[in-house]
Chains A and B, each alone.
Chain A
Amino acid sequence: GEDVEQSLFLSVREGDSSVINCTYTDSSSTYLYWYKQEPGAGLQLLTYIFSNMDMKQDQRLTVLLNKKDKHLSLRIADTQTGDSAIYFCAEKESSASKIIFGSGTRLSIRP
């Protein structure tokens, strides 16, 4: 079945770049997402990328997709304390309505 994997924790210094990595197994994935969850809150869609794209940039966020290796990454430039959250990688097939989530990466910011 489909599987999405992420490392559980990442700690970076304020002002540095954060890179969160994700791997997935479903070669039929059409949409790949990054969601942000702040403590005690629901999920917020941060950004997404279509499987036919290699890169997408949106202000401080850069998504890189290596479809051959089924590897997705999210880079947050100039990481701020407000970026502290859990970041979920997720994927969906074009024909499916179900989104498959990774385990989430907890990003903490050091002063």
Chain B
Amino acid sequence: GAVVSQHPSRVICKSGTSVKIECRSLDFQATTMFWYRQFPKQSLMLMATSNEGSKATYEQGVEKDKFLINHASLTLSTLTVTSAHPEDSSFYICSARDTRYGLAGQSSYNEQFFGPGTRLTVL
């Protein structure tokens, strides 16, 4: 099956610093990647949809200047948490959409593959 990796798996940083999280599709190309945030004992909250070569689409309530997304290639999307604060501490999960599944304008059942997540702790 398709594999998605995230790096780092765990990061601890000081308040005010910026942290970059990478999401890679290892054996397939992904024109679209999704970034989720998961608080303890809560569901996944979609933060943004990352499209290769264009600007990301952010969900309502997500600050695009705080959570910078870059999707410069078909296998890599990055999420940068700028000027991180303790309330940004969370589990960040990405998923990647395999371009092989589904025709243009359509979608299929299993087109998204999830990464293992990145645990961010801001002190």
Contact = CB atoms under 8 A, between A and B. Distances in A.
Interface stretch (B13-21, B64-72, B75-83, B107-115): B107-115
Nearest to A93: B107
A101 B44 contact: yes
Contact of B43 (A40, A41, A88): A88
Size class of B's contact patch?
20 to 34
A111 interface: no
Size class of A's contact patch?
20 to 34
Nearest to B1: A45
Chain B at the A interface: SS class: strand
Interface in B65-123: 93, 95, 97, 106-107, 109-112, 114-117, 119
B112 A99 contact: yes
A62 B37 CA distance: 29
B106 A94 contact: yes
Given A43-B93, A43-B114, A97 B44 contact: no
B107 A42 contact: no
Contact of A96 (B42, B43, B107, B110): B107
Nearest to A6: B43
